[in-house]
Chains A and B, each alone.
Chain A
Amino acid sequence: MTEPRRTRFKVKMARARWHVRNFFQTVGETIKKGLSKIGLGFLFKLPPFVRAMIYLAPALAILGVFTFYPIFNSVFISFLKDYNMFTGEVSGYTLLDNYLTILKHQAFAQSVINTAVIAFISVPLTIIISLAVSVALAAIKPLKGLFQTVYFLPYVTNSIALGLVFAYMFSGNANTINTQLSLSNAILKGIGLQPIAWLGIGATYWSAMSVILLYTIWNGLAFKIIVFLTGIQSIDKQYYQAAQIDGASKYKTFRRVTVPLISPMIFYILITSLIGSFKTYSSVVAIVGATGRITSGQHGPLDMRTIVFYIYDFLQNAGQPGNMSLAAAASIILFIIILFFTVIQLQVGKRRVHY
């Protein structure tokens, strides 16, 4: 019974597409007639390039106002001295002062380190884990749908909410961790380990960072698993049969057949998630708090802010002259860092990716 029903549906879809096409054709002809009547018929006689530009104008205008203008303006602002964003007053221009101030700033260096740690630990781990999960998901039949949903849920859930849940699971400080067990510490105690003050008083850099990493990795799995699973399922089964006959082990088949055949997808994920992780912000806000700092760590205060967090902090006090320029300079530096790694990846990709 399903077959005819599906066929009927297909026929209906085809008919709908046909009607939509006809509708737009009619609309197009009506517009053409209308324009000709009011003397604008010449529009249709313009060269294709000019016509294309007219069609693209709305999109270009929006992109120009909200993307290109801000980019150029932020470059411009980064060259201003004592810029007051409310009055527009400027005491002069400088080429490198703002950049040098940022680069000398201890907090900026810390934010670069924090961002790099998140990027270079979480991205490879997420990719490896999501590859493993997708291979496992592709191999099982029962409960596949359930697992797919479970892994995809974080993707459709608010990241701040998830971060707060994480913060709650890893809550507790040095004085209370033994009496008020959070979920993570209950588990640690259950397997015979000492509870840890992950984020509260007495936290260390790596205890806080591991919560952020754990969250980033888990949160990043969803989308990657979907992409990899789709890729793996589209690989022709015969390659696996051939590998089986050739006596390749499961691991070897994975490394020599699966990975190369989905390498374009791995590459795409690598670039997008590295760029994404350089822009990490909300997860740190949700887990560490709105200041991005842990005031009483084991060895003094801890600064967990990322580069974007650092930039936003300037904007909190945007009224103070000069802050906008410093934020702009930091943004440009972040842009250059991301550009650098993307170019490197594209170069590596040329040799390693099989399209």
Chain B
Amino acid sequence: MEIRLKNLTKVFTDKRGNETVAVDNLDVVIPSGKLVGLLGPSGCGKSTTLYMIAGLLKPSGGKIYFGDNDVTRVSPDKRGIGLVFQNYALYPHMTVRQNIMFPLENMKVSHKEALRLTTEMAELVGIADQLDKKPAQLSGGQQQRVAIARALVKKPDVLLLDEPLSNLDARLRLQTREEIKRIQRETGITTIFVTHDQEEAMSISDEMIVLDLGRLQQMDTPQEIYDQPDNLFVAKFLGSPPINVVDAVVKGKKIIVDGIEVASTNAKDGEYTLGVRPEDFRVVEKGTFTFKREDIEVEVIGRDTMVRFSVGDNKMVRAVVDSESVRDKDVISINIKQGKALLFDKESGSVVI
């Protein structure tokens, strides 16, 4: 089911009449059958957007379409969605089986059929042996699976996940995100999940929507967004360690930082912000930046080596290079890889090509 958000807006008004724009004219099309990550920092409006798609929050403006149907005013249970809450919201007094069966109780399904569907879902998410337990007797990861099974049991067209991995420990998180990906593949259901963790979003999304301050920043496949950020915010938000940002000047198709020519460009002359990802540096024989080893910080972490040096007004720059290339070298010379220098407008922050 394709989901279209048209000029979706949500304004919260507090008791004193102060207005907060949580979602601002959001205009996106979420393709059918894809796993889409809604990514952004805290307070960017991603959960608000998810809850509006679910129908738990009423938009202040704009429309939501499921396929060709306008569902803006449709109640949550009639939208054909399944929602997994951040803390799962499993009914603590019901067994796992009763929890998964609860949505079916409210539909015209025979008891036998309901039991069959419940077992089928439990098998899909891998908790078939836990059906008679209460949620409190399960681990966090198992509770997560129960919540997904409960969301999927009525065969919704859309699955919504609110920060699905935030309550799990690091190892379980890795395992569960593969699991979510697998379940999504097997069911082919259009899935939207909210996260503030860029690594998580990049690792499982087919497409990513990056939000900030309620506005759409960029929507594309994770790799595209990483390689070709539309603006400085997106560039900074993705990647760990984060992108290096320094002031730069362009003069005669040359990017100049602190009097040193670092790369070439087609941009007009003027002042810009230069962004280079740490892995987009390379150690060469005679490059742009040359340092004595003892003057800079070199940290060998297995295959990669992190080199830290300062440029211009003591701006720290991190470069991640191949450990082999710096071995036994007293003088390290570093270049920016061809075509990897990103220029951003100083005022608007948008990328300059």
Binding site for B on A (CB under 8 A): 236, 238-239, 241-249, 252, 256-257, 260-261, 263, 354
Contact = CB atoms under 8 A, between A and B. Distances in A.
A239 B87 CA distance: 10
A248 B92 contact: no
Contacts of B89: 236, 238-239, 241-242
A245 B154 CA distance: 11
9 contacts: A236-B89, A241-B76, A242-B83, A242-B91, A243-B102, A245-B54, A245-B103, A249-B106, A263-B93
Interface in B151-181: 154
A252 B105 CA distance: 10
Interface string B183-215: 000000000000000000000000000000000
A245 B83 contact: yes
A181 B154 CA distance: 61
B56 A245 contact: yes
B92 A246 contact: no
A263 B94 CA distance: 13
A241 B92 contact: no
B56 A252 contact: no
A246 B149 CA distance: 12
Contacts of A238: 85, 87, 89
Nearest to A246: B103
A214 to B, nearest CB: 34
Chain B interface secondary structure, helix, strand, loop or mixed? loop
Contact of B102 (A236, A241, A248, A263): A248
Nearest to B90: A242
A261 B77 contact: no
A261 to B, nearest CB: 7
B297 to A, nearest CB: 41
Chain A interface secondary structure, helix, strand, loop or mixed? helix
B353 interface: no
B91 A257 contact: yes
B107 interface: yes
Interface residues of B, number: 24
B59 interface: no
A261 B94 CA distance: 10
B106 A260 contact: no
A108 B323 CA distance: 97
Interface in B45-60: 54-56
B193 to A, nearest CB: 16
A261 B92 contact: yes
> Which A-B residue pairs are the 8 nearest by beta carbons?
A247-B77, A354-B93, A238-B89, A247-B106, A246-B103, A260-B93, A242-B89, A245-B76
Nearest to A260: B93
Contact of A245 (B81, B87, B94): B81
Nearest to B106: A247
Contacts of B76: 241, 244-245
A247 B93 CA distance: 19
Nearest to A259: B93
Contacts of B54: 245
Contacts of A244: 56, 75-77
A239 B75 CA distance: 17
A246 B56 contact: no
B56 A247 contact: no
B82 interface: yes
Nearest to B82: A245
Interface in B83-122: 83, 85, 87, 89, 91-94, 102-103, 105-107
Contacts of A354: 92-93
Contacts of B75: 244
A74 B177 CA distance: 70
Contacts of A243: 102
Contacts of B105: 248, 252
A248 B13 CA distance: 29
A241 to B, nearest CB: 5
B90 to A, nearest CB: 8
A261 B93 contact: yes
A239 B89 CA distance: 6
A236 B56 CA distance: 15
Contacts of B92: 261, 354
A241 B75 CA distance: 12
Contacts of A247: 77-78, 103, 106-107, 154
Nearest to A236: B89
Nearest to A253: B106
Given A247-B77, A260-B93, A354-B92, A241 B106 contact: no
B232 to A, nearest CB: 33
Counting chain B CB atoms within 10 Å of each CB, which of A236, A244, A245, A263 scores highest? A245
Nearest to A242: B89
A248 B56 contact: no
Nearest to A257: B91
